[in-house]
Amino acid sequence: MFTFAAPALLALAATCNALPTISTLSSRASTPAQNLCGTPDDSIIVDSTNWIVYNMMYNYQDIEGSCCTGFTGLVTGADGEQKCGWNSTWAIEDVASTSNVPKGYSFVGLTQNLENTISAIDSIPATYDWVRSNTTAYKGNVCFDFMTSDTKGDSTSSSAQELMLWLRYEGGQEPIGYADGVVATITLYGKTWSLYQGTNTDTGITVSSLLVDQSDQYLGYFAGDIKDWLLAMVDQGLFGTDTYVNVGNAGMEPFYGTVSFENKLGLQINLS
C-alpha cells in the first residue's frame, strides 16, 4: 500500500513512448547542472525561475542502491516557453520486504505565487514530458502533487489536503485509499480518471488521488491547466474555491528498479 510521508515537502511550503531526448540545454540559468543524491533530502533553487529541484528520499534507509535527481539546465519547449530540464535516476534493488515502500519523491516544485486561493488564480499551465530508459522492471509513478488548505500556508496539519494526479504508474503501485475502492469517476483532460481517498497515517492528512485509466495512461507527455484539476476537486466537494494552494510540484515516486527519466517541466501559477 502506498503511503506518502514527506515532511520535507511540507516544510518546503513554508519556505517559499518515445519523445526526443533533451538536447537543447541552455545556459540562461546561473545555477549549474548538478546531481542531487543526498539523504534524506537535497535540493537546489534554480536561479531566475520559480522552481526548486528536490531529491526527497524520505525512506532512504530502505534504499539498497541509489536514487538521484539532477538539474540539467533550462530548455525551450516546442511552445517557445522556458522549461526546467531535470532527471531522475534510480538503481534500487527489488527487496521483498520493502518492495511496497515508496523510497521518496524526486521532483521539481514551485516557489512563486503559492498561498493564493483558487479563486485568485487565473491558470496553472503545465507541460510535463519525460523519456524513460529502464534495464529492469520497476515500480513507481509519474505525477503532479499539490497541497491545499483553508488556512494560508498550512501544509502540515490534518486540515490540509494532498492532491495527486497520476499520469503513469508501473509495477502495481496503489494509492492511499485503494482498499476502500473508487470514490468517483470523472472526465478530465479528455480522459477518464478514478478518484481514491484515504488518510496518510504518518501525517494525518487526507490524500485524494486521481488515477488515469490504466489502458489510457500518458506515454510521455502531458499538457493542461492544473486549475481544471483543482476545480474538478471542488466539484467533488473536497473544498471550495476559497481554499489556498500552498504546495505545487511534479515528479516521480521510486519504489525499485534500474531506470532513468529525462524530463522537461513547465509549471507556473498565473494570478488573476
pLDDT at 208 over 60: yes
How far apart CA 246 and CA 51 sit, in angstroms, is 14
pLDDT at res. 78: 84
Residue 211 located in a structural domain = yes
Q: Tell me if 252 sits within 8 A of 86, measured CB to CB.
A: no
pLDDT at res. 130: 98
Strand pairing class (121-123; 184-188): unpaired
Average pLDDT over residues 166-192: 97
Residue 99 located in a structural domain = yes
pLDDT at res. 29: 52
Residue 214 located in a structural domain = yes
| Domains: count for the chain | 1
Helix (H, G, I), strand (E, B) or coil at 227: helix
- Cross-strand pairs, 263: 86, 130
pLDDT at res. 251: 98
Residue of 8 and 185 predicted with greater confidence: 185
For the record, the C-alpha cell of 61 comes out as 534507509
pLDDT at 20 over 80: no
Q: What are phi and psi of 79, to 5 degrees?
A: -85, 0
Model confidence pLDDT, tens digit, residues 139-156: 999 999 999 999 999 999
Tell me the three-class secondary structure of 85-101, residue by residue.
EEEEEEEECCCHHHCCC
C-alpha dist (Å) from residue 176 to 68, 89, 196, 201: 25, 25, 7, 10
pLDDT at res. 32: 95
Average pLDDT over residues 218-224: 98
Residue 165 located in a structural domain = yes
How far apart CA 75 and CA 92 sit, in angstroms, is 29
Q: Which domain holds residue 211?
A: 7-28+35-271
pLDDT bin (cut points 50, 70, 90) of residue 79 is confident
Model confidence pLDDT, tens digit, residues 32-51: 999 999 878 899 999 999 99
Q: Give the list of residues 6+ apart from residue 10 with CB closer than 8 angstroms, or none.
A: 147, 155, 156, 203, 247
CATH of the domain at 245: 2.60.120.180
User: Exposed (0-12), middle (13-18) or buried (19+): which is 38, by Cβ within 10 Å?
Assistant: middle
How far apart CA 222 and CA 218 sit, in angstroms, is 7
Residue 109 located in a structural domain = yes
Q: Tell me if 199 sits within 8 A of 3, measured CB to CB.
A: no
pLDDT at res. 2: 37
How far apart CA 36 and CA 108 sit, in angstroms, is 12
Average pLDDT over residues 68-83: 94
Average pLDDT over residues 185-197: 98
Model confidence pLDDT, tens digit, residues 89-139: 999 999 999 999 999 999 999 999 999 999 999 999 999 999 999 999 999
Q: What is the pTM of this model?
A: 0.90
Residue 21 located in a structural domain = yes
How far apart CA 100 and CA 115 sit, in angstroms, is 33
Q: What is the mean pLDDT of the chain?
A: 90
Residue 2 located in a structural domain = no
Residue 1 located in a structural domain = no
Q: Tell me if 130 sits within 8 A of 261, measured CB to CB.
A: yes
Average pLDDT over residues 192-214: 96
How far apart CA 182 and CA 143 sit, in angstroms, is 18
